[in-house]
């Protein structure tokens, strides 16, 4: 087992255990096939990525996005930190290229080399630390060509399905500007250390994209469209899909 002090930047013990859980990888494809949220983010990417080009999937998992767009004639590259996930991804999308790398440190990918990029589902929220999450978005911006498009899927900090106690706590932390606002820690479904996911406010996600240099193009709210057992009210907005674009020219016209 890798010691804590050797964990990659932006990765804590809970995330490391999750990424390398064999049971999680074995059931991941079926989980995605049955998820409305997973279908929604692929549909949003279809809207955003309208013509074949070179596509980078940041946190590709078992390759669902690469498999989908490779079948449409896109040249796909997937990046993930889990060798177990990548092994399955190579089976699911044999024509795509896959790279084991940390999203916080992507110096091996050339600048302005992709037409499109995506960071879907809870991937950005899994990265620990606001500074590291900003680096992931900066990397996405750097590798896109001018005019290149980026899709981000972020979880909603105030999603009702988290439970009223968690939502109330998050609202108070957000109101008072606590450093841990948005961080939700839960037990691992697959064993290992607890997993912490950062949940975003709508404004926070747009601000992060703008700070990285992206122009705002479109967004979509995503819901599970169902009730949780024992609840009398809808879950509400589970998360958000954002479309940003790297400007075609620098502000001074250069």
> CB–CB of 216/152 below 8 Å?
no
Q: For residue 183, what are the domain limits?
A: 7-245
Residue 74's domain is classified under what CATH number? Answer: 3.40.50.150
Tell me: pLDDT of 8 over 50: yes
Assess if residue 107 is contained within a domain: yes
Q: What band does 189 get if pLDDT is binned at 50, 70 and 90?
A: confident
Cα(204)–Cα(164) distance, integer angstroms: 21
Domain presence at residue 253: no
What pLDDT is recorded for position 235?
55
User: 76 near 66, Cβ under 8 Å?
Assistant: yes
pLDDT for 188 equals 86
Q: 3-state SS of the chain?
A: CCCHHHCCCCCCHHHHHHHCCHHHHHHHHHHHHCCHHHHHHHHHHHHHCCCCCEEEEECCCCCHHHHHHHCCCCEEEEEECCHHHHHHHHHHCCCCEEEECCCCCCCCCCCCCEEEEEECCCHHHHCCCHHHHHHHHHHHHHHEEEEEEEEEEEEECCCHHHCHHHHHHHHHHHHCCCCCCCEEEECCCCCCCCEEEECECHHHHHHHHHHHCCEEEEEEEEECCCCCCCCCCCCCEEEEEEEEECCCCCCCCC
Q: Residue 72 has what pLDDT?
A: 97
Residue 231 has pLDDT above 90, yes or no: no
| Mean model confidence pLDDT for the chain | 92
pTM as predicted: 0.93
Could you tell me if 239 and 155 are in contact, meaning their C-beta atoms sit under 8 angstroms apart? yes
| Any domain includes 70 | yes
Span 98-108, mean pLDDT? 96
State how many domains the chain has.
1
How far apart are alpha carbons 244 and 80 in whole angstroms?
22
Q: How far apart are CA 226 and CA 191, in angstroms?
A: 28
Per-residue confidence (pLDDT) for residue 227, from 0 to 100: 44
Examine residue 1 and state whether it is found in any structural domain, yes or no: no
- Average of pLDDT values for 210-232? 78
> Would the pLDDT of 176 be above 60?
yes
Query: Does the pLDDT at position 122 exceed 80?
Result: yes
Indicate whether 227 belongs to any domain. Answer: yes
pLDDT at 228: 45
Q: With bands split at pLDDT 50, 70 and 90, how would you rate the model's confidence at 161?
A: confident
Q: How far apart are CA 41 and CA 242, in angstroms?
A: 10
d(C-alpha 74, C-alpha 54), whole Å: 6
Q: Please check the confidence at residue 192 and state whether its pLDDT lies above 50.
A: yes
Q: Is residue 250 in a domain?
A: no
Q: Over 60: is that where the pLDDT of 254 sits?
A: no
Q: Is residue 2 included in any domain, yes or no? A: no
Poorest-pLDDT segment among 17-26, 86-95, 138-147:
17-26
pLDDT tens-digit readout, 10-68 = 999 999 999 889 889 999 999 898 888 889 999 999 999 999 999 999 999 999 999 99
Higher pLDDT pick, 1 / 214:
214
């Amino acid at each position: 087992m890798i010691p804590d002090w050797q964990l990659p930047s932006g990765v804590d013990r809970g995330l490391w255990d999750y990424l390398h859980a064999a049971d999680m990888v074995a059931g991941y494809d079926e989980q995605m096939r049955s998820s409305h949220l997973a279908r929604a983010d692929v549909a949003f990417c279809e809207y955003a990525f309208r013509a074949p080009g070179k596509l980078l999937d940041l946190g590709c998992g078992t390759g669902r996005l690469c498999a989908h767009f490779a079948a449409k004639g896109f040249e796909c590259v997937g990046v993930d930190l889990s060798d177990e996930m990548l092994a399955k991804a190579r089976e699911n999308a044999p024509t795509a290229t896959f790279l084991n790398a940390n999203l916080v440190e992507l110096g091996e990918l050339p600048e302005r080399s992709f037409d499109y990029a995506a960071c879907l589902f809870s991937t950005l929220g899994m990265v620990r630390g606001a500074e590291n999450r900003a680096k992931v978005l900066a990397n996405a911006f750097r590798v896109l060509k001018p005019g290149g498009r980026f899709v981000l899927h972020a979880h909603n900090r105030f999603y009702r399905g988290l439970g009223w106690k968690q939502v109330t706590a998050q609202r108070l932390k957000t109101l008072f500007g606590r450093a841990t606002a948005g961080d939700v820690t839960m037990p691992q479904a697959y064993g290992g250390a607890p997993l912490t996911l950062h949940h975003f406010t709508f404004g926070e996600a747009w601000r992060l994209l703008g700070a990285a240099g992206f122009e705002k193009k479109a967004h979509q709210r995503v819901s599970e469209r169902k009730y949780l057992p024992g609840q009398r009210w809808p879950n509400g907005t589970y998360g958000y899909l954002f479309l940003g674009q790297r400007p075609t020219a620098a502000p001074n016209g250069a």
